[in-house]
């Protein structure tokens, strides 16, 4: 870009003509900084494109063999060399959304409590353990879940089936312990710290005058939070939830250990099922022929595609919610 | 003759003597100090021990990555490793894809796959399973433990009214290869519907990750049945069933049973054979070899020498580490055939081991 163009990006207003500045004013340091940061940005974009390109290249053999049937079929047979991924897509999405259902009320509730009810000096003491939980490696969660959580879920499932077995969601193999419900619960536990931490930061940016104004008008504390703070912060809170959803969809190790890992289509909350990430992680090392490897990469491509679609939907919703002003984090 | 020539003669004689001495011990004679291999996880504990002892004996570092049989086959095909290791035999397509030509399958040890279960009130070895019953359980045709067909072989055992929860491996594995190979032999329906491979389309139910995942699931789920390497069953004290072998005897999974399965008359020269459902009366029916995969025609003289010597050492000195780690050492005819295969390794059409 020429110096005139650089100048015009820093100038406000809608001047159609480029204003000609004395270029000796802009020194070498500024230009160097500009070029270096430009290069970094381009590297990031390039990495993203390379990732997509390599995914397509690896999946090409499977795409040519199966085409879009891959997305709607229900057979995964390495012996007969027939692959399709609908049950795992459903498994991934169901587990992620149930995890959100469980996690969001707890996270946003905790964030509200920390931001509005907790005395200021106590905040770090509560926030720190939450952030610590966010840093626990996924495999540790998986091990804990397998040995501690699954037996508890198993007892819960047996109780649910005995008392509410007529309901289709509870009409499944309760005694396995591993399955959709276990997978969703461990995912919920893993995404609560992220959503809580980000939501807390968002809620702390709600301007005090807004809330105080509401209180001055006679609202209770609860009303001022529910009717002013949360709506004000809804864009940011939505962004936090999407962050959590992103982690839930891509989570691998913990889900592999307690998800049940079956290819059959699920019919109840207790059925075992693979998620796309757990399937790739489980089978990649022993994929003994190229179509097998290619099909697994195709699954990865589908996972990537779903993540992008959700991200785009989220961006659109955020744009709509904020009526055209894009800022997610002010 | 000059003193120099005499000294030179002595030096050459000494070197060749030491070279043959070193060769006899199985150490590489051409200066190779490092080797890389990759493959099966099943023999990894044993290979780990073997390679550390080999390092002590020959000062050669062998770096083995247990990335799975499939990974080992792939790396060998791409010639990124010196040798591969697999619990399964390479099929025609894989052999055709191997860039270095013909691949030798040299068996190293054999192992047994235990069928483990979780039935309240039934202890280890108290449950007897016939091959057709096992196959139908895994085909989901027998769904409750009090089924007449299971009771038929288990008179006197109180079988509870409990749904069978079938546990299998979610990741591809050589253990699965041996297990499904056995089921395909004893059940034509299994062979047609599911087949045998390191990873198959299971009729049900729960998949556990690794031997430890299956072991854990079986321990936790009442009414579960699963398959694990006998070492895992022993170490985790999970009850196992007695399997009926080809001569109608019921046997516990054991190293002796696995070694007996390999001790049969008509082993093929290329040793690409499955020893499940072996006709030997003392054989445990769900046993299998684990192989070292090497190219028959080596391009590099030093590497070829190193690989041949490593295989030779593993077949002889290395075998003593097998039993303490719960692997069945090779015996009898199997060793002879394995030696013959190792001798087939050539560099530029010259045999490496004489």
Q: What is the pLDDT of residues A226-239, one digit of tens each?
A: 888 888 888 889 98
What the block records as the tokens of A281 is: 């992680």
Q: What is the pLDDT, as a whole number, of residue B191?
A: 93
Instruction: Select from B74, B206, B213 the Cβ nearest to the Cβ of A262.
Output: B206
- Interface membership of A178 toward B (CB under 8 Å): yes
Those residues with Cβ within 8 angstroms of residue A190's Cβ, 6 or more apart along the chain or in another chain: A138, A141, A247, A248, A251, A254
Residue A315 sits in the same domain as residue A214 = yes
CA distance B338 to B344: 10
The long-range contacts involving B94-103, CB below 8 angstroms and separated by at least 24 positions, are B94/A288, B94/A289, B97/A289, B97/A290, B98/B295, B100/B76, B100/B295, B100/B297, B100/B299, B101/B295, B101/B296, B101/B297, B102/B295, B102/B296, B102/B297, B103/B76, B103/B293, B103/B294, B103/B295, B103/B296
Q: What is the pLDDT, as a whole number, of residue B118?
A: 94
Instruction: Select from B171, B216, B222 the Cβ nearest to the Cβ of A282.
Output: B171
Residue A330 in any domain: the answer is: no
Name the residue of chain B whose CA is nearest to A254's CA.
B209
ipTM over 0.85 threshold: no
- Interface membership of B318 toward A (CB under 8 Å): no
Instruction: Select from A78, A178, A290 the Cβ nearest to the Cβ of B217.
Output: A178
Burial of A157-184, coded b for 16+ CB within 10 Å and e otherwise, reads: beebbeeeeeeeebbbbbbbbbbbbbbb
Residue A298 sits in the same domain as residue A153 = yes
Chain B contacts of A84, Cβ < 8 Å? none
Name the least confident of A19-28, A115-124, B215-224. Answer: A19-28
The residue assigned the tokens 């430009």 is A38
Across the interface, do B206 and A272 touch by the CB < 8 Å criterion?
yes
Chain B contacts of A147, Cβ < 8 Å? 216
Q: What is the pLDDT, as a whole number, of residue B5?
A: 66
Q: What is the pLDDT, as a whole number, of residue B292?
A: 94
Which position has the higher pLDDT, A281 or B71?
Answer: A281
Q: What is the pLDDT, as a whole number, of residue B113?
A: 93
Across the interface, do B201 and A272 touch by the CB < 8 Å criterion?
no
Across the interface, do A288 and B74 touch by the CB < 8 Å criterion?
yes
Residue A16 sits in the same domain as residue A143 = no
The residue assigned the tokens 């055209």 is A324
Instruction: Select from A151, A178, A289 the Cβ nearest to the Cβ of B94.
Output: A289
CA distance A130 to A240: 15
- Interface membership of B165 toward A (CB under 8 Å): yes
Residue A136 sits in the same domain as residue A173 = yes
Question: In which residue ranges of chain B is pLDDT below 50?
Answer: 17-24
- Interface membership of A28 toward B (CB under 8 Å): no
* Averaged pLDDT for residues A263-284: 90
Report the gap between the CA of A133 and the closest CA in chain B (Å).
25
Please tell me the total count of domains within chain A.
Answer: 2
Interface test with B, best of A155, A176, A283, A288 (most B CBs within 10 A): A288
Residue A156 in any domain: the answer is: yes
- Interface membership of B290 toward A (CB under 8 Å): no
pLDDT band for position A249 (cuts 50, 70, 90): very high
Residue A7 sits in the same domain as residue A74 = no
Report the gap between the CA of B63 and the closest CA in chain A (Å).
18
Report the gap between the CA of A9 and the closest CA in chain B (Å).
52
Element (H, E) at A48: helix A28-66
Residue A204 in any domain: the answer is: yes
Those residues with Cβ within 8 angstroms of residue B163's Cβ, 6 or more apart along the chain or in another chain: A173, A175, B143, B144, B145, B223
Residue A52 sits in the same domain as residue A117 = no
- Interface membership of B226 toward A (CB under 8 Å): no
pLDDT at A330 over 70: no
Residue A293 in any domain: the answer is: yes
- Interface membership of B150 toward A (CB under 8 Å): no
Residue A119 sits in the same domain as residue A46 = no
Chain A contacts of B194, Cβ < 8 Å? 79
Residue A133 sits in the same domain as residue A206 = yes
Across the interface, do B206 and A80 touch by the CB < 8 Å criterion?
no
CA distance B197 to B178: 8
Q: What is the pLDDT of residues A139-157, one digit of tens each?
A: 999 999 989 999 999 999 9
Q: What is the CATH number of the domain that holds A303?
A: 1.10.3720.10
User: Do B43 and B85 contact (CB within 8 A), yes or no?
Assistant: yes
Residue A112 in any domain: the answer is: yes
The residue assigned the tokens 């070899």 is B289
pLDDT band for position A23 (cuts 50, 70, 90): low
Burial of B78-90, coded b for 16+ CB within 10 Å and e otherwise, reads: eeebbbbbbbbbb
Residue A149 sits in the same domain as residue A49 = no
- Interface membership of A150 toward B (CB under 8 Å): yes
- Interface membership of A148 toward B (CB under 8 Å): no
What sign does the CA torsion over A34, A39, A44, A50 have?
Answer: positive
Report the gap between the CA of A288 and the closest CA in chain B (Å).
4
For strands B350-351 and B346-347, give the pairing: antiparallel
pLDDT at A45 over 90: yes
Element (H, E) at B310: helix B301-315
Task: Enumerate residues 204 to 223 of chain B having a beta carbon within 8 A of any beta carbon in chain A.
Answer: 204-209, 213, 216-217, 220-223
Instruction: Select from B69, B205, B223 the Cβ nearest to the Cβ of A272.
Output: B205
Q: What is the pLDDT of residues A174-215, one digit of tens each?
A: 889 899 999 999 999 999 999 999 999 999 999 989 888 988
- Determine how many CB atoms are found less than 10 A away from the CB of residue A219: 16
CA distance A238 to A319: 11
The closest alpha carbon to B105, from B130, B127, B56, B72, belongs to: B72
Query: Which residue, of A59, A81, A99, is where some domain finishes?
Result: A59
Report the gap between the CA of A167 and the closest CA in chain B (Å).
20
Chain A contacts of B197, Cβ < 8 Å? 78-79, 288
The closest alpha carbon to B229, from B82, B43, B52, B62, belongs to: B43
Interface test with A, best of B70, B78, B216 (most A CBs within 10 A): B70
Across the interface, do B221 and A177 touch by the CB < 8 Å criterion?
yes
Residue A94 sits in the same domain as residue A143 = yes
Chain A contacts of B69, Cβ < 8 Å? 286, 288
Chain A contacts of B170, Cβ < 8 Å? 256, 261, 274, 278, 282-283
- Interface membership of A274 toward B (CB under 8 Å): yes
Name the residue of chain B whose CA is nearest to A76's CA.
B201
Query: Which residue, of A14, A39, A59, is where some domain finishes?
Result: A59
Q: What is the pLDDT, as a whole number, of residue B333?
A: 85
Domain of residue A261 covers: 70-322
Instruction: Select from A76, A256, A290 the Cβ nearest to the Cβ of B201.
Output: A76
Residue A327 in any domain: the answer is: no
Residue A25 sits in the same domain as residue A146 = no
Residue A25 sits in the same domain as residue A170 = no
* Averaged pLDDT for residues A109-116: 91
User: Do B276 and B286 contact (CB within 8 A), yes or no?
Assistant: yes
Those residues with Cβ within 8 angstroms of residue B207's Cβ, 6 or more apart along the chain or in another chain: A260, A261, A262, A272, A274, A282, B167, B168, B169, B170, B213
Residue A329 in any domain: the answer is: no
Across the interface, do A79 and B163 touch by the CB < 8 Å criterion?
no
Task: Enumerate residues 81 to 110 of chain B having a beta carbon within 8 A of any beta carbon in chain A.
Answer: 88, 93-94, 97
Helix, strand, or coil here: B87? coil
Query: Which residue, of A18, A36, A59, is where some domain finishes?
Result: A59
Across the interface, do B70 and A286 touch by the CB < 8 Å criterion?
yes
Residue A255 in any domain: the answer is: yes
Q: What is the pLDDT of residues B167-180, one digit of tens each?
A: 999 887 788 889 99
Instruction: Select from B70, B196, B209 the Cβ nearest to the Cβ of A287.
Output: B70
């Amino acid at each position: 870009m020429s110096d005139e163009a650089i100048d015009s990006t820093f100038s406000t207003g809608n001047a159609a003509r480029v204003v000609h500045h004395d270029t000796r004013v802009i020194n070498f340091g500024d230009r160097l900084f500009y070029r270096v940061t430009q290069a970094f940005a381009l590297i990031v974009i390039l990495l993203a494109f390379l990732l997509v390109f390599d995914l397509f290249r690896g999946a090409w053999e499977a795409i040519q063999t199966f085409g879009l049937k891959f997305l709607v079929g229900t057979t995964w047979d390495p012996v007969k060399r027939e692959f399709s991924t609908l049950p795992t897509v459903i498994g991934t999405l169901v587990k992620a959304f149930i995890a959100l259902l469980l996690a969001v009320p707890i996270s946003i509730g905790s964030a509200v409590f920390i931001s509005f009810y907790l005395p200021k000096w106590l905040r770090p003491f509560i926030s720190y353990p939450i952030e610590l939980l966010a840093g626990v490696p996924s495999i540790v969660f998986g091990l804990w879940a397998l040995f501690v959580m699954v037996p508890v879920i198993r007892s819960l499932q047996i109780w649910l089936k005995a008392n509410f077995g007529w309901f289709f969601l509870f009409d499944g193999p309760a005694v396995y312990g591993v399955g959709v419900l276990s997978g969703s619960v461990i995912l919920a536990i893993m995404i609560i710290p992220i959503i809580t931490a980000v939501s807390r930061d968002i809620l702390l940016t709600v301007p005090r005058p807004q809330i105080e104004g509401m209180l001055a008008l006679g609202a209770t504390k609860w009303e001022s939070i529910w009717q002013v703070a949360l709506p004000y912060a809804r864009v940011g809170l939505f962004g936090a939830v999407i962050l959590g959803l992103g982690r839930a969809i891509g989570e691998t190790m913990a889900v592999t250990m307690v998800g049940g890992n079956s290819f059959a289509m699920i019919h109840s909350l207790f059925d075992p099922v693979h998620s796309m990430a757990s399937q790739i992680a489980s089978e990649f090392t022993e994929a003994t022929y190229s179509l097998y490897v290619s099909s697994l990469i195709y699954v990865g491509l589908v996972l990537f595609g779903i993540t992008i679609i959700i991200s785009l939907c989220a961006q659109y919703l955020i744009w709509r919610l904020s009526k055209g002003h894009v800022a997610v984090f002010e | 003759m000059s003193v120099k020539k005499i000294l030179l003669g002595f030096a050459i004689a000494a070197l060749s003597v030491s070279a043959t001495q070193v060769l006899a011990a199985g150490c590489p004679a051409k200066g190779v100090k490092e080797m890389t291999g990759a493959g099966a996880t099943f023999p990894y504990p044993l290979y780990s021990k073997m390679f550390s002892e080999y390092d002590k004996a020959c000062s050669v570092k062998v770096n083995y990555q247990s990335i799975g049989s499939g990974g080992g086959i792939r790396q060998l095909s791409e010639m990124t490793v010196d040798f591969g290791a697999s619990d399964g035999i390479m099929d025609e397509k894989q052999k055709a894809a191997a860039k270095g030509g013909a691949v030798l399958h040299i068996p190293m040890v054999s192992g047994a796959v235990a069928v483990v279960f979780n039935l309240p009130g039934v202890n280890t070895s108290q449950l007897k399973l016939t091959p057709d019953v096992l196959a139908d359980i895994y085909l989901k045709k027998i769904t409750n433990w009090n089924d007449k067909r299971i009771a038929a072989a288990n008179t006197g055992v109180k079988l509870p009214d409990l749904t069978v929860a079938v546990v299998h491996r979610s990741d591809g594995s050589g253990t699965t290869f041996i297990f499904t190979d056995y089921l395909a032999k004893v059940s034509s329906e299994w062979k047609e519907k599911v087949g045998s491979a390191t990873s198959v389309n299971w009729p049900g139910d729960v998949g556990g990750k690794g031997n430890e995942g299956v072991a854990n699931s079986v321990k936790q789920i009442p009414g579960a049945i699963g398959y694990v390497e006998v070492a895992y069953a022993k170490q985790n004290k999970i009850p196992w069933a007695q399997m009926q072998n080809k001569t109608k005897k019921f046997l516990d999974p054991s190293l002796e049973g696995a070694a007996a399965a390999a001790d049969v008359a008509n082993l093929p020269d290329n040793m690409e054979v499955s020893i499940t459902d072996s006709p030997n009366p003392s054989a445990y029916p769900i046993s299998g070899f684990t192989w070292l995969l090497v190219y028959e025609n080596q391009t590099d003289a030093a590497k070829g020498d190193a690989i041949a010597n490593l295989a030779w050492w593993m077949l002889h000195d290395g075998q003593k580490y097998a039993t303490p780690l719960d692997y069945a050492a090779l015996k009898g005819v199997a060793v002879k055939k394995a030696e013959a295969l190792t001798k087939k390794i050539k560099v530029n059409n010259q045999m490496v081991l004489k």
